[in-house]
């Protein structure tokens, strides 16, 4: 008890109200309002054969640059569009638009994540009929976005080399949500001896995630090929499933 | 802090049940939170204290029950407890596990109280 920070103040233990008269058992999932909208979004995407990919990571881990490189390499094969989530500015959306791809910005103000309703509200600006892939670049944050299903089909999580290889253990809820983890900015490995790829993968496995891990660098040639291959394979697998379901 | 928006979801759900108990006030609300739900109990409690006034009223209290993480190992088949950043099998050490419990965020029950006792001092009206 130092007398300075308030630690000497005993924590108040509150007592419950005793005179209860009516107990109603509920057992309701409290994320259901967002989850219900997310199911609606996903049904809308499926009806238009649009694959939706949610990118999540810390700010500055290379999400927008990865999108730019992916669009440049694959826009001749797929019709792509992007929803950008940021607290402020249209900077990222403008970067995407320079590549001739539609990008709509959601400015969340002080909101720390996108939710299914925000995504639904902006969907009217897209012609889903003409799209193959819709990327959602979530707000840069390793905490809140993991709690909100947007209706996506795939969660891609980036862990950049400068962040350190123990991030999965520090942010387990986020990294548990990953369908694939990209270790980005691998060109920095030569400057960051303390980042060990094997340790990063081990940290990812410790949170119980069995998903693939791909190393990428958006600034070096041929360092995105594994990501492109995964991307194409995932879309093809989804298309095959859709065809089978229709055939059935 | 996403707990504020989750708190609004909680209050909206409570409001549905309150309509069937119009002659009573919400007394105590029981919520279960798992360590992998992404919901921080203390922050949810703070959000609840801020939001309750204009919805279910100041007499409403929140009791948060936290749950443990339980997994089933897909290799050895055993069930065990885990901690939030080591979701591995306690028996064989494998990380190939399925979550059985620990990511829930559930409104369990609501205790309604008669309207006449809803003017108790505020400091006795919530539970942690």
Strands, E, within A2-61: which ranges? Answer: 22-29, 51-56
Q: Which of B2, B13, B105 sits opposite A112 (nearest CB)?
A: B2
Task: Give per-10-residue mean pLDDT for chain A (248 aa).
Answer: 54 52 90 92 96 96 96 96 92 95 91 92 97 96 90 97 96 95 96 95 95 95 94 91 72
**Given CB atoms, is B114 within the 8 Å cutoff of chain A?**
yes
pLDDT for B76 equals 96
Segments in chain A forming alpha helices (H) = 32-47, 63-74, 91-97, 116-123, 167-170, 172-176, 197-206, 225-247
CATH tag, B3-112: 3.30.2320.80
Contact residues on chain A for B111, CB-CB shorter than 8 A: 17, 20, 22-24
Task: Give per-10-residue mean pLDDT for chain B (128 aa).
Answer: 86 91 91 94 93 86 95 96 94 93 95 73 40
C-beta contacts of B116-123 below 8 A and 24+ residues apart: B117/A17, B117/A19, B118/B25, B118/B57, B118/B59, B119/B59, B120/A17, B120/B59, B122/B58, B123/A12, B123/A14
pLDDT for B128 equals 39
B-contacting residues in A 147-166 (Cβ below 8 Å): 147-148
**Given CB atoms, is B17 within the 8 Å cutoff of chain A?**
yes
Nearest-Cα residue of chain B relative to residue A19: B113
pLDDT for A111 equals 80
**Given CB atoms, is B47 within the 8 Å cutoff of chain A?**
no
Enumerate the domain spans of chain B. Answer: 3-112
Q: Per the CB < 8 Å rule, is A24 touching B17?
A: yes
pLDDT for B124 equals 37
Q: Per the CB < 8 Å rule, is A206 touching B86?
A: yes
Largest CA distance in chain A: 73
Instruction: Report the Cα A1 to chain-centroid distance in Å.
Output: 43
Q: Per the CB < 8 Å rule, is A22 touching B88?
A: no
**Whole-Å CA distances, A98 to A94, A103, A135:** 6, 10, 16
Nearest-Cα residue of chain B relative to residue A171: B85
pLDDT for A25 equals 94
The model carries a pTM of: 0.85
pLDDT for A6 equals 53
CATH tag, A36-226: 3.40.50.300
Tell me the C-alpha distance between A81 and B62, whole Å. Answer: 43
Partnered with residue A160 across adjacent β-strands are: A184
């Amino acid at each position: 008890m130092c007398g300075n920070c308030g630690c000497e103040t005993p924590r108040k233990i509150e007592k419950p109200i005793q005179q209860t008269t009516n107990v109603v058992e509920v057992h309701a999932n409290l994320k259901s309002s967002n989850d219900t909208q997310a199911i609606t979004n996903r049904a809308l995407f499926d009806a238009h054969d649009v694959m939706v990919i949610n990118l999540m990571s810390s700010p500055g881990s290379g999400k927008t640059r990865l999108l730019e490189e992916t669009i440049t390499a694959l826009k001749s094969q797929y019709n792509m569009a992007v929803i950008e989530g940021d607290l402020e500015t249209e900077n990222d959306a403008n970067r995407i638009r320079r590549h001739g791809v539609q990008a709509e910005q959601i400015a969340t103000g002080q909101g720390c994540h996108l939710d299914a309703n925000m995504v639904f509200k902006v969907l009217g600006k897209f012609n889903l009929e003409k799209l193959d892939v819709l990327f959602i670049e979530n707000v840069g944050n390793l905490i809140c976005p993991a709690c909100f299903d947007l209706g996506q089909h795939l969660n891609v999580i980036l862990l950049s080399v400068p962040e350190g290889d123990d991030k999965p253990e520090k942010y387990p809820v986020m990294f548990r949500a990953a369908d694939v983890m990209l270790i980005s900015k691998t060109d920095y490995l030569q400057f960051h001896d303390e980042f060990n790829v094997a340790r990063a993968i081990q940290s990812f496995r410790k949170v119980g995630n069995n998903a693939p891990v791909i190393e990428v660098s958006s600034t070096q040639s041929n360092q995105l090929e594994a990501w492109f291959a995964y991307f194409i394979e995932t879309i093809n697998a989804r298309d095959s499933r859709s065809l089978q379901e229709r055939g059935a | 802090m996403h707990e504020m928006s989750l708190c609004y979801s909680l209050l909206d759900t409570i409001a549905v049940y309150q309509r069937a108990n119009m002659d009573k006030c919400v007394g105590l609300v029981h919520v279960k939170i798992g360590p992998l739900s992404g919901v921080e109990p203390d922050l949810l409690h703070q959000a609840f204290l801020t939001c309750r006034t204009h919805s279910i009223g100041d007499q409403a209290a929140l009791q948060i029950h936290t749950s443990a993480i339980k997994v089933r190992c897909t290799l050895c088949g055993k069930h065990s407890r885990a901690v939030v950043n080591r979701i591995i099998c306690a028996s064989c050490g494998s990380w190939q596990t399925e979550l059985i419990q620990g990511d829930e965020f559930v409104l369990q029950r609501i205790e309604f109280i008669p309207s006449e006792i809803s003017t108790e001092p505020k400091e006795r009206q919530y539970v942690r």
